[in-house]
Amino acid sequence: MSLRGLAAATVGFLALTACGGGGQVGSAVLPSVSPSGRALTYVAIGASETVGIGADHPQAQAWPQVFYRTALPRAAVLVNLGVPGSTVAQAVREQLPSAIAAKPDLATVFLNVNDIVDRVPVSAYRADLEMLLEGLRSTGARVLVANVPPLDQLPLLKACLPFAPGLGGSCDTSRRISVEKIDRTVDDFNGAIASVASATGAIVVDLHAASLKVRKAGGEASIISSDGFHPSTAGHELIARTFAAALRRAFPGVAVGDP
């Protein structure tokens, strides 16, 4: 054997027996991590529905959580500013400053039912909503704003007719309401929402139509929680799906997941 051949054999042997330590343990079984997508900031402004009231597991099943989980890239951040019982006027004071500070890329607004329950005049509601949406628009965020779902068949409301629902599930006998009046009020508010959204460049998320579709299919009871007022787990999922569909239609480059 020549010297050259011996040297080559030695190098070859050492190379073959070299074994890297690496930085992984059991790497063969580690699933690949899918791309994380854009790191966009999503701000949710709203009231009790926005924090998941009515769902079986509010922290995990609130509709903004479901929307965030299913329709936005994995790297997205959700800032949930929902405050139970909030009206639009309260949201302008309490939630809007934090929303602006978060520098959102996307914002959702679901604030209307409490204003109706608190008998806020539609003109005042329109002005407050305009202030809120203009404030969000100033950040450059894409804004989705929900309209009012049908309220006439809510168990809590029907249980108190002809009186209005009161605090803590009771009925306020000092106030009389009717289904027709409720429907008119909902229509007025939805008109105001559509008008303000159009003026501020926000996209309307038609919860009203989505809920009517479920009612027509006979499934309305399944989307209302046992308290007779808030959405159930299925109701939160419906809200999230409706927002996701609106997002895909209006901003197709942002949404992920199945249409």
Partner 1 sequence: MSWRDALALAARAVWRRLGRSALTVIAVALAAALLTGLLIIATTARTRVLGQLSKGGPLASIRVERQGLAEVDLRRLSEVPDVRSVAPISVARQLILPPTPSVFGAASPATQAVAAVTTEPFVDGVVGIDMRRAALFPVTLLAGRLPMPGSTTEVVVTEGYLRHVGVDESRPVSVLGTQLELAEARFLGQAFDDGVFSRWTRATIVGVVAQEAGAGDVLAPIEQIRAAERFAGESTAYTAVLVEASSLESVGRVHDAIETMGYSASAPENLIATVQRYLHVVEIVLSAIGLIALVIAAIGITNALLAAVRERRQEIGVLKAIGARDRDVLRIFLIEAAIVGFLGGLAGVTVGWAIARTVATVVNRYMVEQGLAGVQMSFPWAILLGGLVASTLLALVAGALPAVRAARLPAREAMAGA
Which residues lie near partner 1 (CB under 8 A)? Answer: 1, 3, 10, 13-14, 17-21, 23-27, 29-31, 33, 36, 39, 57, 59-61, 65, 68-70, 74-81, 83-85, 94, 98, 102
225-242 as b/e: b if 16+ CB within 10 A: beebbbbbbbbbbbbbbb
Tokens of 209: 């139509």
- How far, in Å, CA of 66 to CA of 125, rounded? 28
Minimum distance from residue 114 beta carbon to partner 1 (Å):
13
**Minimum CB distance to partner 1 smaller for 75 or for 209:** 75
Phi, psi of 243 (to 5 degrees): -65, -45
Minimum distance from residue 238 beta carbon to partner 1 (Å):
14
**Minimum CB distance to partner 1 smaller for 98 or for 226:** 98
Half-sphere exposure of 225 (CA within 13 A, CB side): 19
Minimum distance from residue 142 beta carbon to partner 1 (Å):
19
**Minimum CB distance to partner 1 smaller for 80 or for 147:** 80
**Minimum CB distance to partner 1 smaller for 20 or for 259:** 20
Instruction: Please compute Rg for the chain using Cα positions.
Output: 26
Minimum distance from residue 43 beta carbon to partner 1 (Å):
10
- How far, in Å, CA of 203 to CA of 75, rounded? 24
